[in-house]
């Protein structure tokens, strides 16, 4: 069983949620980098949402429970820190946006990495469009889908390592080797809810997404950028990564962009400048 991870640091805290059927391990390197930059970092493991460490999905809970857990985690962190930034990877980013809609006046900023409002990436099979039907057919929620190459990473060495881990232990830093239909159905319910909530979110936001994301296309990030209620949001498109941007070739660039974003929040709190509006930038590959 995986456990939550925390890195003590400064008074400003960063609360990051891992992806669906995954664990805090996929955010480990990012968390350490942010701690070195002077922040306290919290990487909670959410039972019923995350991987149990053995690739099993017998204890999946519904998306409302995921949101309740996320809110509870935020409230605990907020009791100890003056400023809290929330974020996540993939469905973890979607979960962070839902949390932001519920606690917007208490959130200092949002970091959405590979945000997923629909599974529409280039590696997914055509029959993904049939997923909503699984909730209405006998035993539909018991089906599962096995993860395959490229496992969310463009880097060949990291991809090989993830493949070995999944074959040996049914799980890896990149998550479980399988995704259950039930977890995907609940994820769909979550992101349909988030779409409706986006206009109410006013906190500053940084959105990071790979142009070649094989799980969720850049349309997801662009949709969030257009519909957020925030007047201070920025989208950075990465050129040399796939879905798991915290593990892939541009993981250092991801850390740098987040550090710059956090620094800009601190500056704006002191200076209170006019809103910057929407910005899109393309990150050059290193």
pLDDT tens-digit map of 136-195: 444 444 444 555 556 678 877 876 766 666 665 544 444 454 567 778 889 999 999 999
CA distance 79 to 40: 13
Segments forming the whole domain that contains residue 15:
5-283
CA distance 184 to 92: 13
Share of the chain above pLDDT 70, in %: 73
Query: CA–CA distance from 188 to each of 4, 49, 242 (Å)?
Result: 25, 13, 21
At 120-149, the pLDDT tens digits run 887 765 445 445 544 444 444 444 455 555
How many domains is the chain partitioned into structurally? Answer: 1
Q: Which helix (H) or strand (E) holds 221?
A: helix 218-227
CATH number of the CATH domain containing 257: 3.40.50.1820
CA distance 281 to 141: 40
């Amino acid at each position: 069983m995986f456990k939550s991870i925390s890195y003590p640091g400064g008074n400003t805290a960063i609360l990051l949620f891992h992806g669906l059927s995954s664990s805090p391990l996929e955010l480990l390197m990012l968390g350490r980098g942010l701690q070195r930059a002077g922040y306290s970092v919290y990487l909670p493991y959410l039972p019923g949402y995350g991987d149990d460490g053995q690739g099993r999905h017998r204890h999946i809970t519904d998306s409302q429970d995921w949101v309740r857990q996320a809110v509870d985690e935020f409230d605990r962190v907020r009791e100890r820190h003056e400023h809290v930034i929330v974020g996540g990877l993939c469905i973890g980013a979607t979960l962070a946006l839902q949390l932001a809609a519920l606690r917007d006046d208490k959130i200092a900023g949002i970091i959405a990495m590979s945000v997923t409002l629909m599974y529409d990436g280039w590696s997914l099979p055509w029959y993904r469009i049939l997923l909503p039907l699984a909730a209405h057919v006998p035993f539909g929620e018991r089906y599962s889908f096995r993860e395959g190459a490229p496992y969310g990473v463009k880097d060949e060495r990291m991809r090989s390592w993830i493949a070995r881990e999944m074959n040996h232990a049914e799980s890896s830093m990149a998550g479980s080797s399988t995704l259950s239909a039930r977890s995907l159905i609940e994820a769909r319910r979550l992101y349909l809810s988030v779409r409706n909530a986006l206009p109410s979110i006013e906190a500053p936001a940084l959105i990071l997404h790979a142009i070649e994301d094989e799980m969720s296309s850049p349309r997801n990030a662009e949709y969030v950028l257009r519909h957020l209620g925030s007047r201070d949001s920025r989208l950075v498109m990465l050129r040399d990564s796939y879905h798991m941007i915290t593990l892939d070739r541009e993981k250092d660039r991801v850390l740098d962009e987040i550090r710059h974003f956090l620094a800009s929040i601190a500056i704006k709190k002191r200076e209170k400048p006019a809103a910057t509006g929407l910005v899109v930038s393309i990150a050059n590959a290193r």
